Amino acid sequence: MQPAPLTMMLALLDVQKWRPRPMRRHGPRIRFFTLEAGSCEGCAMELVSLGSSAYPLEGSGFQRVQHPEDADWLLVTGSVTRSSASALASAWEAMPAGRSLVAVGNCAYDGGLWKNNYATLGGIHTLTRVYSSIPGCPPSPSAILQALVELAEGVSSSTGSQASSASRRSRQ
Ligand code: SF4
């Protein structure tokens, strides 16, 4: 049996197939599953807040789901600890074809405050070459929603405030 970090890296290889999808204001919502992969959980709490009535999540074309099998996108928070690697790989493998990965917050991108900690793998930055990310520590719920809308509309914006812009990064 392969070690969990290697399993995760293999499972995430097809993240390179990321394709922003057009916003479907009149069609099915984009469904996303969230996974906390080891951190202070600040970003995870902002995602919880995004699901409150204060933010027009569903009105913007998104739906948070409870199971990765039902999800189009996987939103990851946290620096990807060694102990969370298998859960991340399992969630990714459970998602249907056409899945996409979004790193929410600085930790999910490159490990953030814990990037050099022995217990982490250094974020998704170290595991895959192309993905989408929402920077910030943490990004606010409104910034996350704006970034999701931009990603859904296929806008690759790296301008504006760091916390309010979604960026698509390449390590090629
Ligand atoms: S990016 Fe900041 S708020 Fe988010 S999990 Fe890391 S330390 Fe916490």
Question: Could you tell me the two tokens for 98?
Answer: 């056409």
Q: Which residue has the higher pLDDT, 127 or 119?
A: 119
Residue 136: pLDDT band (50, 70, 90) is very high
CA distance linking residue 129 with residue 119, whole number of Å: 22
Residue 12 pLDDT exceeds 80: no
- In which band, very low, low, confident or very high, does the pLDDT at 44 lie, cut at 50, 70 and 90? very high
pLDDT of residue 13: 43
N-to-C CA span, the chain: 30
pLDDT of residue 77 exceeding 60, the answer is yes
- Reported confidence tier of residue 65, pLDDT bands at 50, 70, 90: very high
Ordered structural domains, the chain, with CATH = 4-18+27-164 (3.40.50.12280)
Cα of 25 vs centre of ligand 1, distance in Å, is 31
Instruction: Give yes or no for residue 137 CB within 6 A of ligand 1.
Output: yes
Percent of the chain with pLDDT over 90: 60
40 lines ligand 1 (CB under 6 A): yes
- pLDDT for position 159: 33
Q: What pLDDT shows up at residue 131?
A: 73
pTM of the complete model: 0.79
Cα angle for residues 84, 135, 103 (degrees, 5° grid): 35
**CB of 78 shorter than 6 A to ligand 1:** yes
CA of 27 to the centre of ligand 1 (A): 33
Q: Is 6's pLDDT higher than 60?
A: no
* The pLDDT of residue 1: 57
Q: Please work out whether the CB of residue 138 comes within 6 Å of at least one atom of ligand 1.
A: yes
pLDDT (tens digit per residue) in 101-126? 999 999 999 999 998 899 999 888 87
State which ligand 1 atom lies nearest to the alpha carbon of 43: 4
Q: Which residue has the higher pLDDT, 162 or 5?
A: 5
**Of residues 42 and 6, which shows the higher confidence score?**
42
CB of residue 133 inside a 6 A radius of ligand 1: no
Q: Write the residue with the smallest CA distance to atom 2 of ligand 1.
A: 137
**Average pLDDT of every residue of the chain:** 80
